[in-house]
Structure 1
Amino acid sequence: AAGAGAAAGAGAAAEDVPEVERESPAKAPVARRRRTVLLAGTAVVAAVAAAALVVNLVPDKGHNDRSGKQSVGTAASESVDSSPDASEPSGAKGRSASPSASRSGSPTASAPASVSASRSREAAAAQGGDGSADGATAPAVAVNPYKWEDPCSQHYLIDQNPEQVPPPPAEPDARGWVNALGGVAGGQQMLALTVQGTGKATVVLEALHVRVVEKSAPLAWNDFEMGVGCGGGVETTSFGVDLDAGRPSLSPKAGQRDFPYKVSESDPEVFYVFADARTHNVSWYLELDWSSGDRHGAVRLDDKGKPFRTSGNVGRPAYTYPLGDTEWGRNESYPDIPG
């Protein structure tokens, strides 16, 4: 019996040992293969990353003049192009990134009127339309703050001696002449406003407001008259404003009617504004209220982003440039601007 038990124990031990030996060799190679595969995969990823790093570090010989800013701009333009643009023609989708960056990066508000028109379109879009169907957007306004009723009526104050001032310009060249000398309209400034609709819809011009930016003592400069022996006058739609008043406002001249007016793309309107100043130096601009259906807005009118400037000239030394003369001379009728 003891022998049988020992034999049985030995048999059991003999059966246990092979089972352990069969499991261990089977699992170990699998684990090794998994580790090998994992390490190999990691090596491949590392190699790819290293290759990408090398490619990025090697300069592009064909584009070695590109700066970092241009790269950022290109990336920005690609991001813009990736989003669909309903207003862009389908043929424009294949265009390069740089022109797209220029279009999207350009300021919308170069001129104040453009800014107001843009805001109006946004308001229209918020109400369920973009205004493109009926053209109900802000009117386009051309502003000329260097318009003359006649050369004799226009004076400019300039902080220079007469021998330093060139001959008076013709009206179309007045802007460059005045800006080069740092001049300011003296006594009165005339503006021409050409207002036109930008679509088929009629636009109502509700009101035209005067906005004062700054008011100070009149400039103590010399006064230069642009012409001698003139005549005539403006009989069209014109308005006057006294800039010396506490709250300057426009009033119709020569029997003209007041606002509102109507304009469209095919029916523009021209307004003339005469701004007077005697006792102040005034920086100011205009604001035009408009409406079309349920859309409305306001357009700022100024001198290319800067306020208009008009200064009183009473008592200032008066200079004229008579026809045939070659230099400025003191006005014989009134050496100083009368009050």
Structure 2
Amino acid sequence: MTDGSGADAFAEFLRELKDRSGLSYGVLAKRLHMSTSTLHRYCNGDAVPADYAPVERLARLCKATPEELVELHRRWVLADAGRGKKGAAVLPAAPTAPTAPAEAAAPAEAAAPAEAAEVRDAPAVEAPRRSRRRTALVAAIAVAGVLGAVGLALGLPSGGDGDRGERPAGSVSVAGDDDRAGESTAASPSPSKSSPSASPTATAKGKEAGREVSASPSADSGASAAVPLTVSAAPYSWESPCSQRYLIDKPPSQVPPPPLEQDAAAWVAATGAVSSGEQYVTLTVQGTGEETVVVKDLTVHMAGKRSPVAWNDYAMGYPGVGCGGNVPTRSFTVALDATRPAVVPEAGHRDFPFKVSESDPEVYYIRADASAYDVSWYLELDWASGSRSGTLRIDDAGKPFRTSGNNGRPAYEFPLGGEAWEAGDGSS
């Protein structure tokens, strides 16, 4: 069984929702397109889902309120983080290659005084043996030093372009005062002005559909301390299946059926799709320790604005299927057609700043809409903790998000139980 209070609290909440719905495991599993045994494992705490999408669908089937959806997401984040920590704790048990020579050299150095004492008390005829021992000791230390240097050289990142791999979807970059957009690798700090030779030491870890990214350390101070928070970005979330549409430069016969939400990122990549009319981005921000981190602001930056693409418009929902949706707390809108788009809280919702810690994460829902343009854009999150502060750039696999207007575009829907796309009414 999955250990930890986070996983237990998450499973307990799932059971409460399931029991309240009055639906059996079999009925729920069938509607969620998963096996009954898998659903049992989630509700019993035997496993934590790797992706939040099926959890949210389960909660909506069980008529969860907006507040319950937010609380469920918070518990899933904590349960998922607890699982990651346990996995990381096992790794140090296996020594890495560069440390082996150093560990071997330590006993040799410790043995040196004892050998010297033994040689001083020995007869003169032992002098050749003493010389051989000293020679062997010096050679062992030299070899250990060379191997250690080679291991260190292999472990250091290169500054060449060959190290710049593509980031997972939902990338986060740490930026300093001299932010160099487009030059940093996934979750990499831009070197600060005070330390131009600083090397990127942050890491990025991608999850299913390229969702989670951890960013560290802070770059604006030039310090080596890790950024005290992580950001998990889901750039292809759906507010509801019926509201999500994609523009694709292909005829209906070449477009596969609509995916499940957790498979949307792969489906978009395979079809070359662009978010149509609006894009729904979910951000989960969590501290890495007990210290409080202030999320000061979230801003929009434009990377390009063009005429909308003249492609076909494909709806993800199935006609005849109910697609209700609620506006969760911490919801914001972005009008990409505006001259200066801004992140604006939904009516009745709080605006920034917010506070996060390891035990108290925040989830932000960003709905960006475009009508008159094809817009490339990205987000920047400003944070502060004590004397440290920084900026995280949030984008899509190292590239800006892209959202295009869909007015007048040919629209298609995929009927429930059907086998091909059919012409729709074009409503979004």
Residue 292 of structure 1 deviates from its aligned partner by 0.9
Pairing 1:120–2:218 present? yes
SS of 1:101 mapped into structure 2: helix
Q: Corresponding residue for 1:298? A: 391
Flag structure 1 segments of 5+ consecutive residues without an equivalent: 1-80
Separation (CA, whole Å) in 1 of partners of 2:299 and 2:273: 25
The match for 1:174 among 242, 264, 267 is 264
Q: Corresponding residue for 2:250? A: 160
Q: Corresponding residue for 1:321? A: 414
8 Å Cα contact 1:316/1:337 also seen in 2: no
Pair 100,258 (structure 1): closer, same or farther in 2 beyond 3 Å: same
Q: Deviations over 1:86-144 (max 9, x none)?
A: xx99749867666533421266996524224556257163xxxx547xxxx25211111
Query: Counterpart amino acid of 2:255?
Result: V
Query: Counterpart amino acid of 2:272?
Result: G
Residue 267 of structure 1 deviates from its aligned partner by 1.4
Pair 122,251 (structure 1): closer, same or farther in 2 beyond 3 Å: closer
Separation (CA, whole Å) in 2 of partners of 1:91 and 1:267: 40
8 Å Cα contact 1:203/1:263 also seen in 2: yes
Separation (CA, whole Å) in 2 of partners of 1:92 and 1:294: 41
Separation (CA, whole Å) in 2 of partners of 1:261 and 1:89: 48
8 Å Cα contact 1:151/1:226 also seen in 2: yes
Pair 98,322 (structure 1): closer, same or farther in 2 beyond 3 Å: farther
Separation (CA, whole Å) in 1 of partners of 2:382 and 2:102: 37
Q: Deviations over 1:253-312 (max 9, x none)?
A: 141100000111221111000000000000000000111112111000011211100000
Separation (CA, whole Å) in 2 of partners of 1:256 and 1:184: 29
Separation (CA, whole Å) in 2 of partners of 1:286 and 1:265: 23
Q: Corresponding residue for 2:294? A: 204
SS of 2:384 mapped into structure 1: strand
Question: Within 5 Å, which residues of 2 pair with 1:231-246?
Answer: 231-246=324-339
Flag structure 2 segments of 5+ consecutive residues without an equivalent: 1-97, 106-143, 175-186, 190-214
8 Å Cα contact 2:217/2:225 also seen in 1: no
**RMSD between superposed Cα atoms in Å:** 2.8
Pair 263,166 (structure 1): closer, same or farther in 2 beyond 3 Å: same
8 Å Cα contact 1:225/1:319 also seen in 2: yes
Residue 154 of structure 1 deviates from its aligned partner by 0.3
Q: Corresponding residue for 1:247? A: 340
Q: Corresponding residue for 2:156? A: 104
Residue 318 of structure 1 deviates from its aligned partner by 0.8
Separation (CA, whole Å) in 2 of partners of 1:180 and 1:313: 20
Residue 199 of structure 1 deviates from its aligned partner by 2.7
Pairing 1:312–2:418 present? no
Query: Counterpart amino acid of 1:296?
Result: S
SS of 1:160 mapped into structure 2: coil
Q: Deviations over 1:179-228 (max 9, x none)?
A: 11100000010001011112332110110000000000001000000013
SS of 2:359 mapped into structure 1: coil
8 Å Cα contact 1:121/1:131 also seen in 2: no
8 Å Cα contact 1:190/1:274 also seen in 2: yes
Pairing 1:218–2:308 present? yes
Residue 337 of structure 1 deviates from its aligned partner by 4.7
Question: Within 5 Å, which residues of 2 pair with 1:53-64?
Answer: none
8 Å Cα contact 2:228/2:289 also seen in 1: no
SS of 1:179 mapped into structure 2: helix
Q: Corresponding residue for 1:39? A: none
Pair 124,249 (structure 1): closer, same or farther in 2 beyond 3 Å: same
Separation (CA, whole Å) in 1 of partners of 2:188 and 2:258: 35
SS of 2:262 mapped into structure 1: helix
Separation (CA, whole Å) in 2 of partners of 1:242 and 1:256: 17
8 Å Cα contact 2:245/2:315 also seen in 1: yes
Higher mean C-alpha deviation, range 276-285 or range 100-109: 100-109
SS of 2:352 mapped into structure 1: coil
Separation (CA, whole Å) in 2 of partners of 1:204 and 1:89: 43
Q: May I ask how many residue pairs the two structures share in their alignment?
A: 242
8 Å Cα contact 1:314/1:337 also seen in 2: no
Q: Please say which structure displays the higher CA radius of gyration.
A: 1
8 Å Cα contact 1:138/1:299 also seen in 2: no
Residue 231 of structure 1 deviates from its aligned partner by 1.4
SS of 2:221 mapped into structure 1: helix
Separation (CA, whole Å) in 2 of partners of 1:91 and 1:301: 41
SS of 2:188 mapped into structure 1: helix
Higher mean C-alpha deviation, range 88-97 or range 157-166: 88-97
Q: Deviations over 1:13-69 (max 9, x none)?
A: xxxxxxxxxxxxxxxxxxxxxxxxxxxxxxxxxxxxxxxxxxxxxxxxxxxxxxxxx
Separation (CA, whole Å) in 1 of partners of 2:104 and 2:303: 44
Aligned residues: percent identity?
Answer: 52
The match for 1:271 among 364, 369, 376 is 364
TM-score normalised by L of structure 2: 0.52
Pairing 1:191–2:281 present? yes
Q: Corresponding residue for 2:379? A: 286
